[in-house]
Amino acid sequence: MEVGKVTFGNIGIGEVIYLLKKDPFAKAKRKNWNGKNTFIRLQVVDKYSKMKEDYIYVTGEDGNCVPWTPSQTDMLKEDWLVEVCL
């Protein structure tokens, strides 16, 4: 079976988190975020992690990753896009 990508659009943050938890390769972004390559992903803790809990991080245009905390607008808007692998 060939692996493909599917994008879900116009969804809220609850659905985003659900999809990020289901697919370890999923990434999400808001339609109006600046930068084509800016997105969030879920980091799941494993035995090699320094962190003790799972967390969401954002990757910016420069490729750098930092922990991410959503704004009020991010939490309330339903303009999210999530790309998942099949």
Q: Euclidean distance between the first and final Cα of the chain, in Å?
A: 9
Ordered by start, the domain boundaries in the chain are: 5-85
Per the listing, tokens 């692996």 go with 3
Judge contact between 77 and 16, C-beta under 8 A.
no
Judge contact between 54 and 44, C-beta under 8 A.
yes
**Each residue's pLDDT tens digit, 23-40:** 999 999 999 898 889 999
Query: Which candidate, 31, 53, 50, places its Cα nearest to that of 42?
Result: 53
Question: What pLDDT band is residue 76 in, cutting at 50, 70 and 90?
Answer: very high
Distance CA(47)–CA(31), nearest Å, equals 35
Q: pTM for the full model? A: 0.89
- Is residue 2 predicted with pLDDT exceeding 60? no
Strands, E assignment, the chain:
5-11, 27-30, 39-43, 55-59, 65-67, 80-85
